[in-house]
Amino acid sequence: MSIFTKIIKGEIPSYKVAENEHFYAFLDINPNAKGHTLVVPKKEVNKLFDLDEELYNGLMSFSRKIALAMEKVIPCERIGMSVIGLEVPHVHVHLIPLQKMEDIQFIKKVTLEPSDFEAVAKAIAENI
Ligand code: 5GP
């Protein structure tokens, strides 16, 4: 079972942003920027392009809703999207508030207090 499946099942805590039947969105624990969100299909599939077309399109559609909400509440130039998966072999879309190119490069991380995570997760959730 992947660490993200454990998060979806509630066995590991997360700062939840949104959920529906097929997808779960939560804050990345080691964010590139405040509000950095991960969107995962509940079905445990390793690689993005191995998702069937319906689930792939559903993931993009769900991610778009989250990104539009993020853009409303987080000051940034735009929301960037990246799919990597070299660390966790369970498909996840990174949605990252961008100010500059390095924010999407997974080089510099920000340190947030639990209260910051809680506040930003709530703000995004309320604007979906
Ligand atoms: P990738 O697989 O795309 O290279 O990176 C995995 C991402 O998942 C990283 O940005 C990492 O910070 C995040 N991550 C790994 N483990 C956890 C976890 O237990 N909880 C949360 N919220 N994020 C995690």
Q: Where along the chain do its domains lie?
A: 3-126
* Residue 91: predicted pLDDT: 98
Average pLDDT over residues 67-79: 98
By percentage, how much of the chain surpasses pLDDT 70? 100
* Residue 49: predicted pLDDT: 98
Q: Is 94 an annotated catalytic residue?
A: no
* Residue 46: predicted pLDDT: 98
Residue among 47, 81, 49, 56 nearest 67 (CA): 81
Cα 71 to middle of ligand 1, angstroms: 21
89 lines ligand 1 (CB under 6 A): no
| DSSP assignment letter at 96 | E
29 lines ligand 1 (CB under 6 A): yes
Percent of the chain that is helix, strand, coil (3-state, to 5) = 35, 20, 45
Q: Is 103 left (phi over 0), alpha (psi -120 to 50) or beta?
A: alpha
Cα 29 to middle of ligand 1, angstroms: 6
Mean pLDDT of the chain: 97
**Rounded alpha-carbon distances, angstroms, from residue 14 to 6, 73, 76, 102:** 10, 20, 24, 25
pLDDT in tens, 14-68: 999 999 999 999 999 999 999 999 999 999 999 999 999 999 999 999 999 999 9
* Residue 76: predicted pLDDT: 97
What are the start-end ranges of the E strands in the chain? 16-19, 23-27, 37-41, 78-82, 93-98
Cα 73 to middle of ligand 1, angstroms: 22
- Catalytic, out of 22, 36, 90, 92: 92
pLDDT-based confidence at residue 6 (cuts at 50, 70, 90) = very high
State the CATH architecture for 3-126: 2-Layer Sandwich (3.30)
83 lines ligand 1 (CB under 6 A): no
pLDDT-based confidence at residue 120 (cuts at 50, 70, 90) = very high
Alpha carbons 124 and 73: distance in angstroms, whole number:
7
pLDDT in tens, 81-103: 999 999 999 999 999 999 999 99
pLDDT-based confidence at residue 1 (cuts at 50, 70, 90) = very high
**pTM above threshold 0.95:** yes
40 lines ligand 1 (CB under 6 A): no
